[in-house]
Amino acid sequence: MNRNHVKLTPLVESLPATIPFVGPEALERMRGNQPFDLRMGANESAFGVSPLAAEAMRKAIERSAWYGDPEGYELREAVAALHGVSMDEVCLAGGIDELLGLTVRMFVEPGEPVVTSLGAYPTFNYHVEGYGAALHRVPYRDDHIDLQALTETAHQLQAKLVFLANPDNPMGTWHDADAVQTFIQALPPCTTLILDEAYIEFAPSSTHIPIDPNQPQVIRMRTFSKAHGMAGMRIGYAIAHRDLIVGYNKIRNHFGLTRVSLTGALASLQDTDFITHVASQVDIGRREYYALAEHLGLASIPSATNFVAIDLGENGDRARAALKALEGHGVFVRMPGVAPMDRCIRVTVGLPEERARFAEVFATVLKTL
């Protein structure tokens, strides 16, 4: 017997040694510790954080020796007031990524069916497989999440969970509120919907559906990582029926959020002018990307997020070649992971000077493909 052998559970032993995303820092190390000139692949905000949030976080650092409030009382109070819900219908966590893991753990036993879209946000899949559930993937239709197919699959499998991001990552497409409401009403009674709204601040008003935490079948998830520019602070929240929030509170890490992140998120939530400004700048940048693609003889996918998918045509080989060539020029972007969306590259809206530099490099790269 090898006493040095590490014995893991059969479930963990069965999982591949993979992660949802290879970070830009890892790619820089692969490049011989050469930093990227343009970091436009992780959908981080190029517009930084609210000045109010920055000042609040600077002051909070002075008390970093203290734990953050495990109840997140002030931030939950502000989130509840913003959305017209009760504090008992709000759960804070380390971004939507952590909420996804908590939700899978709360709802799904090993082997039970969960439904998502083929090529959708991979961190959800990571948690589903990590808890041993059976993941079923439904292909996109015309670069949009296929709501009808998701509904049909949920009924066929009597799925415990269905995941929908609206607006969507990685394509940036979206469904209007009426379509989402119809989708919710058509789900089987045994199914809970995770509605990931990480990019909602960038979406048209027609996308916004009323928040109703009395509807126990839907969990709404929001983040401070995108429009608020606080991806590095790791903070987001769920709004759901109070019984579901009780469930989250039974298993969440009560000291997982720092004083700095809680303080910064509260200040950012109150700086509505800043968020409006960021959304308007992102809209300008998206239009620039649409125009760039057209100028280069390419198509682009209309987006309701802070990124644009640019269609390179043919198949994923051309997009992968473009990705590699851009990396060689010091430009970090990503691409959807599965066909047919992998014919595109996905570019985050940067600052004006970053967008101009990307346009220059991208035009050069296209000539080499």
CA distances from 199 to 66, 176, 233, 305 (A): 32, 14, 17, 5
> With 90 as the cut, is the pLDDT of residue 80 above it?
yes
Residue 281's SS3 state is helix
Q: Is the pTM of this model over 0.75?
A: yes
Note the pLDDT of residue 138.
98
Q: How far apart are CA 157 and CA 132, in angstroms?
A: 16
Q: At 353, is the pLDDT very low, low, confident or very high (cuts 50, 70, 90)? A: very high
Q: Into which CATH architecture does domain 51-270 fall? A: 3-Layer(aba) Sandwich (3.40)
126-145: pLDDT as tens digits: 999 999 999 999 999 999 99
Segments of the chain assigned to CATH 3.40.640.10: 51-270
Note the pLDDT of residue 315.
87
Residue 130, classified by CB atoms within 10 Å of its CB into exposed (0-12), middle (13-18) or buried (19+), is middle
Residue 348's SS3 state is strand
Name the residue with higher pLDDT: 23 or 182. 182
Segments of the chain assigned to CATH 3.90.1150.10: 22-48+273-366
176-226: pLDDT as tens digits: 999 999 999 999 999 999 999 999 999 999 999 999 999 999 999 999 999
Pair 239, 320: CB distance under 8 Å = no
> With 70 as the cut, is the pLDDT of residue 243 above it?
yes
CATH number corresponding to 22-48+273-366: 3.90.1150.10
Note the pLDDT of residue 2.
54
| Nearest CA among 130, 134, 128, 174 for reference residue 153 | 134
